[in-house]
Amino acid sequence: MDWITLTRTEIEADALPPVCMECGEDAPVRVNRTFGVTPFWLEPFSALAELFIGLLPGLIVGGAAVGLFRRETRISCPFCERHANHWARPYHRALLWSLLCGLAGAGLGWLGAGWFGAEGAAVVWAILGTSFGAGSLAALAGLATGASCIDASAANRAGVRLQHVSPRFVDAMNRVRDAGPPTRLGDEPSVLAERGKRALDVAVSSVSGLLTRGSGNPDAGR
């Protein structure tokens, strides 16, 4: 996977190419996602605040610091239909595996209790514990997979850097940049031309009105 820095102008102009950010295929779907970046020193600061001024005041101070220093950017991300649930898919998979492991363990434990009777209690608990452990590992694996999803690694007023994106999306974005700088929504050439024409008409009308009033009053210059 690759990374790319998107400028604020590109984001506001929705200049991202219709290429899936995960696989690089055609992307007919747009998914709005808010990317947030927290300064590296903010978590130690919050922990120290909780240590020295107490848990509740520390949480309040830490929350205020997050609100002040965390930078968030909302981006309309292109995805193909297969990867439209890019950020939810790993967690859905982890939840499914956890439920399956739990159900399997409960079923085997019930059968073991029926087969071995009271003497099989240890076997039942061992099966349930193994199933719980397997479900926990599956959940952790899903969370680890989620950590490799597209995310922001840096952000400032100029733009945001995204990591774990498809190299084909990066290539498509570079081709868009080679074609020329993006324009903001509402600033397309036709809109700009119309605005210029209206401004010119207003200026001409104002000058004509001044000349007309000046020529109609012979004492205007006295």
Is the separation of the CB atoms in 37 and 209 below 8 Å? no
pLDDT digits (tens, 9 = 90+) for 150-191: 988 888 888 899 999 999 999 999 999 998 876 654 454 554
Q: Label residue 196 by pLDDT band (50, 70, 90).
A: low
pLDDT at residue 2, rounded to an integer: 85
Q: How far apart are CA 64 and CA 47, in angstroms?
A: 13
pTM: 0.57
Three-class SS of residue 151? strand
Tokens standing for residue 19: 């290429």
Q: Is the pLDDT of residue 45 over 90?
A: no
Pairing mode of beta strands 2-7, 29-37:
unpaired
CA distances from 105 to 57, 72, 91 (A): 44, 43, 21
pLDDT at residue 152, rounded to an integer: 87
Total residue count of the chain as it appears in this document: 222
Decide which of 66 and 118 is more confident.
66
What average pLDDT does range 191-207 have in this prediction? 61
Question: Of all residues in the chain, what percent carry a pLDDT higher than 70?
Answer: 56
Tokens standing for residue 17: 């190419």
pLDDT at residue 144, rounded to an integer: 52
Decide which of 175 and 67 is more confident.
175
The β-bridge partners of 27 are none
Decide which of 194 and 65 is more confident.
65
Q: Is the pLDDT of residue 201 over 80?
A: no
pLDDT at residue 222, rounded to an integer: 45
Q: What is the DSSP string of 117-173?
A: GGGGHHHHHHHHHHHHHHHHHHHHHHHHHHHTSSEEEEEETTEEEEEEE-HHHHHHH
Q: Is the pLDDT of residue 133 over 80?
A: no
pLDDT at residue 221, rounded to an integer: 45
Pairing mode of beta strands 159-165, 2-7:
antiparallel
Name the percent of the chain in helix, strand, coil, to the closest 5. Answer: 60, 20, 25
Q: Is the pLDDT of residue 220 over 50?
A: no
Residue type, 90: P
pLDDT at residue 32, rounded to an integer: 93
Residue type, 22: E
Is the separation of the CB atoms in 6 and 15 below 8 Å? no
Q: Is the pLDDT of residue 141 over 60?
A: no
What average pLDDT does range 190-202 have in this prediction? 59
Tokens standing for residue 123: 């076997």
pLDDT at residue 142, rounded to an integer: 54
